[in-house]
Chains A and B, each alone.
Chain A
Amino acid sequence: MHTLYSLCFWLENTSMGSSIHNSTWMFPLIETAHLFGVVILVGAATVLDLRLMGVAFKDYTVSMVAGRFLPWIWAGFVVQVVTGILLFSSEATKMYGSDVFRVKMLLIAAAGLNALVFHVLAYRSVGTWEKDPVAPLSARFAGTFSILLWFGIVGAGRWIAYS
């Protein structure tokens, strides 16, 4: 048996995985919390992305928008990780074989990488361009990419249920 598959099998048979799996109301309840987390994470990330793209909120400096919305992005992200792990644990072996689930995880990794690259490159010099209504190309690119990736992740999440 493949190591990754046996890990999924083990997770699904832990008391956490099996109690969510065997309960009729726990899965939809956790899914509801996962949807609340989407609004917080993707909503807050999109505000920052739109500012980086120069599409909206141009009256505010980039660092002000980042300072106000990054705590919400992180709070939403934590909600998504916790609820996502709970949902995954209840159907881990099914997810092991799901192409849509793999696409969703790859998109999340890409969104994380995009944010990381933005932080260590363009955001380092934010003091020199943060008052400009239009951010440098790399920042606009990071914002556009982030919106496309996060909404792609939301779409993939919906499709997992049908795969």
Chain B
Amino acid sequence: MTPAYAFFHWLTQTYIGATMQGNAYLFPTVEALHIMGSVALVASTSILSLRLAGLFLREIPVSKVASQFLPWAWLGFGCQVVTGILLFMSEATQAYANVIFQVKMALIVLAGINALVFHQTVYRRVKTWDASNPPFSAKFAGYASIVLWFAVIAAGRWLNSSIANSPMPMPK
């Protein structure tokens, strides 16, 4: 048994993990909240991304769109982290060797890196292009963000059926 697998196994045996598995209503309820959180997170980031791509709300400065929609994106992100950890804890051992789970986590990391790079580079100079057509790097960050977040949703959907179809693996 690898240390990572042992840790994942331990997660499923914690009070939270065991409660999530033991209650027939809890998992679907947390899943429903995870979908609601995806609306808050992905809709808010997509509105800013469309503005960065120059496709939407062009008469509003980028910094203003960012300051009005990013708090909702963070709220959605907080909801996704909490509900995502709860869902993960109940089936961590099934997620352990699941390729789609790894793809989803990698896509989330890429979306985070994309946002971080944007903030540390071209957004630093936002005052110089705030009201005009965004520079290429800002447009690129916007398109990449939309593609990545919708891909995260798609991976989440496929994760659900791949875990449902996989038997509970035995500890190795």
Render A57-83 as a binary contact track against B, CB cut-off 8 A, 1 for contact: 101000000001000000000000000
Nearest chain A CB to B107's CB is how many angstroms away? 14
Q: Is the CB of A68 within 8 A of B57?
A: yes
Q: Considering only CB atoms and an 8 Å cut-off, how many residues of chain B contact the other chain? A: 24
In Å, the complex CA distance between A158 and B156 comes to 13
| CB contact under 8 A between A38 and B39, given known A159-B28, A159-B32, A162-B28 | yes
In Å, the complex CA distance between A31 and B160 comes to 12
Which residues of chain A are within 8 angstroms of B39 by Cβ–Cβ distance?
38-39, 42-43, 46, 151, 154
Q: Is the CB of A39 within 8 A of B68?
A: no
Q: Is the CB of B68 within 8 A of A57?
A: yes
| CB contact under 8 A between A158 and B28, given known A32-B157, A39-B39 | yes
Q: Is the CB of A154 within 8 A of B157?
A: no
Render B128-155 as a binary contact track against A, CB cut-off 8 A, 1 for contact: 0000000000000000000000100110
Q: Which of B56, B64, B157 contacts A35 (CB 8 A)?
A: B157
Choose the segment among B9-17, B41-49, B86-94, B116-124 that binds chain A (4+ C-beta atoms closer than 8 Å): B41-49
Binding site for A on B (CB under 8 A): 28, 31-32, 35-36, 38-40, 42-44, 46-47, 56-57, 64, 68, 72, 150, 153-154, 157-158, 161
